[in-house]
Structure 1
Amino acid sequence: MILCITHAQDTFTIDRVQQRLEELGYEGFRFNTDEFGTKYRLRYRLHASGPQYELRCGTRTIDARQIKGVWYRKMWDLQIPPSLDPTFVPAFLKEYRNSLHIFLDALKVPWINRMDTDHAVGANKLLQLNAARAAGLIVPQTLFSNHAEDAVRFFDDHGGNVVVKLHGALSKTMDGKGSFFPTTRLRKEDVPMLESLSACPMILQEYIPKERELRIIYIDGEFFTGSLRAPELADWRTANTTLVQWEPYELPPAAKDRVHVLMTALGLPFGAIDMIVKPNGEHVFLEVNPQGEWGMLEKYLDFPIAATIAEKLVNRIEQHG
């Protein structure tokens, strides 16, 4: 059995991966993490022979020893029972999160991706940029600061060709719906607002002229790359979706080699890498999202991403023995 960690609103991608797992002879059990406190139960028992961890959903009980591999797709915020007294919400969240991690930490099996590594890399874009440069990739000049004078100096040093963004995304979706602060081109009239950095540190980067934007899906050495010619915006998700049309793109072998070195160094079998192709053909690394979206590439470009995730995980399980 393979545990597929996701959330209740996830569609398309989870179904495709589970379908391929079944074709390969492995049952995929969908675990909606947002429903853990409302529809699942965890049991831990310490026997003379060792600990026993069980996950229950309805009438079904899964022993941790049955799980041969884990696909870590998404971790979602816990649903809070509407009848729960607000006074007990902090305790509810704390104890259920602890219980969830106790269960997941017990799974000493192959993962794509391991949760601790996934979170560590996803939460540190500066680590990513440094590792990308060490792997031979071109990265933008970057400043992360809460100091207005630093930001103004950076803006001036780059002739006003600067973008600004949050270190962490507010939106969990690829379409930018909901709370969302897009990567934004900084204008001269915006500079006085940099005084507010003391309330919220932000990333400033040199603006990179772009011929194309790339979303590269890396799966254990395999590459699937979609490209688009978005309007001249710093963040394509702010564009009218009718203007955004994905096209297949063949990443040059040298860029593939460097991305492979990067992902190996970061310890990530899977990741969604964002890059820019400059008018002169140079490829510039922006970031890697260990839980990045890829359904649009499978849907519109017919890339076999879901099947490859399933196959790579099964390969790891069988090599693990």
Structure 2
Amino acid sequence: MTDSESAAVLVLTNRLDATADLVVAQLNNLGVPVFRCDAAEFPMELTLSATLVDGWAGTLDTGQRSLELSRVRSVYFRRPEEFRLPGGMSDAGRRFAAAQCRAGFVGVAVALPCLWVNHPARDADANHKPWQLAAARRLGLDPPRSIITNDPQAAREFAAGLAGPMITKSLGMPVDTTIVDPGGLDDSVKLCAHLFQEWVDKQHEVRLTVVGSHFFAVEIHAGSDAAHIDWRTDYKSLSYKPTTVPGAVRERVTAFMRYFGLVFGAFDFIVTPSGAWRFLEVNPNGQWSWIERHTGVPISRALAELLKEGTGR
């Protein structure tokens, strides 16, 4: 067995991640060794021992299996959970231990010189929605007109300058897109930052899943009024159809991926009645398994092949 054949893919995610299961199954089919663990297992169930040589050399050990850090060809960073620490610790002790775990376990992991899908630092950067929108605008992906503000009067003035309705959506945790009555905006807007955008008329939406150089574009057609505003509110009404990506959009998305250092991204676009693609957002660690299940597009296979390629170890 060659060094490349014996090198393993490290899968960092929770034990119940069914999406990661699909990729692990594909890696098994390709004959690629897999070491799967969750950050939550450290330090009680997972042992790390890393010595600084040229880089960090050592092992991750579950008690049943171990992984040589120097043998990691790639890392699939999915949905790891927070560290589970023993009961009975003081609040201060728990905060200190969690910080040490994060700095040590995550710090060693992110220093591994291999392919990451995606590297946590790149993932964190691309998760900032204002940054996404600014990059998309500069690269010609034509996001909706937008304002971020905690000033209700600024929001009302923004709405007055639009040709149609105004919507609001979350800047962070998932919240349904809502059409806003500007006259109803009050001082509660002052309590936090809000993202307001123009409503863009749509023929349908597209979920574009990018895996390395592979583009998997699927039309999402809403079957209800609620889904027409936000398709996440009514999955049962949706229908799907694989589609192709216009050349100019593909070039600009490739530039966007390069800008943020991503190798995976789940992009959402509106396709207008005239056929124009308008960028909404990207989730650098977005869900994709339901798209594969409904359409058969081989996203899990593409991810496995990308992880297999790794750094060529």
Give TM-score, length-normalised by structure 1. Answer: 0.86
Aligned AA for 1:24? Answer: L
Query: Structure 1 residues 52, 264: CA separation in 2 closer, same or farther (over 3 Å shift)?
Result: closer
> When the two structures are aligned, how many residues end up with a matched partner?
303
How far apart, CA to CA, are the structure 1 residues paired with 2:116 and 2:87? Answer: 34
* Correspondent of 1:236 among 203, 223, 231: 231
Q: Which runs of 5+ in 2 are unaligned?
A: 1-7
* Correspondent of 1:186 among 180, 190, 199: 180
How far apart, CA to CA, are the structure 1 residues paired with 2:22 and 2:143? Answer: 34
Query: Structure 1 residues 227, 5: CA separation in 2 closer, same or farther (over 3 Å shift)?
Result: same
1:168 aligns with 2:203: no
How far apart, CA to CA, are the structure 1 residues paired with 2:55 and 2:10? Answer: 22
- Report deviation, 1:77: 2.9
SS of residue paired to 2:103:
helix
* Correspondent of 2:250 among 246, 252, 256: 256
How far apart, CA to CA, are the structure 2 residues paired with 1:91 and 1:156? Answer: 50
Aligned AA for 1:90? Answer: R
* Contact 2:56–2:112, Cα closer than 8 Å, also in 1: no
How far apart, CA to CA, are the structure 1 residues paired with 2:209 and 2:32? Answer: 24
- Report deviation, 1:297: 0.9
* Correspondent of 1:18 among 17, 24, 27: 24
1:37-76 correspondence runs (5 A): 37-45=43-51, 51-76=56-81
Q: Which runs of 5+ in 1 are unaligned?
A: 171-180
How far apart, CA to CA, are the structure 1 residues paired with 2:52 and 2:109? Answer: 17
* Correspondent of 1:222 among 214, 217, 226: 214
Write out the 4+ residue segments of structure 1 that deviate beyond 6 Å after TM superposition.
none
* Contact 2:73–2:310, Cα closer than 8 Å, also in 1: no
Aligned AA for 2:62? Answer: C
* Contact 1:224–1:305, Cα closer than 8 Å, also in 2: yes
Aligned AA for 2:70? Answer: R
The residue number in structure 2 matching 1:174 is none
1:32-181 correspondence runs (5 A): 32-45=38-51, 51-82=56-87, 84-86=89-91, 88-122=93-127, 124-158=128-162, 161-170=165-174, 181=175
- Report deviation, 1:152: 1.4
* Contact 1:8–1:35, Cα closer than 8 Å, also in 2: no
1:6 aligns with 2:13: yes
How far apart, CA to CA, are the structure 1 residues paired with 2:303 and 2:12? Answer: 13
The residue number in structure 1 matching 2:305 is 311
How far apart, CA to CA, are the structure 1 residues paired with 2:62 and 2:111? Answer: 18
Aligned AA for 1:208? Answer: V
Q: CA RMSD for the aligned pairs?
A: 2.2
How far apart, CA to CA, are the structure 1 residues paired with 2:50 and 2:258? Answer: 34
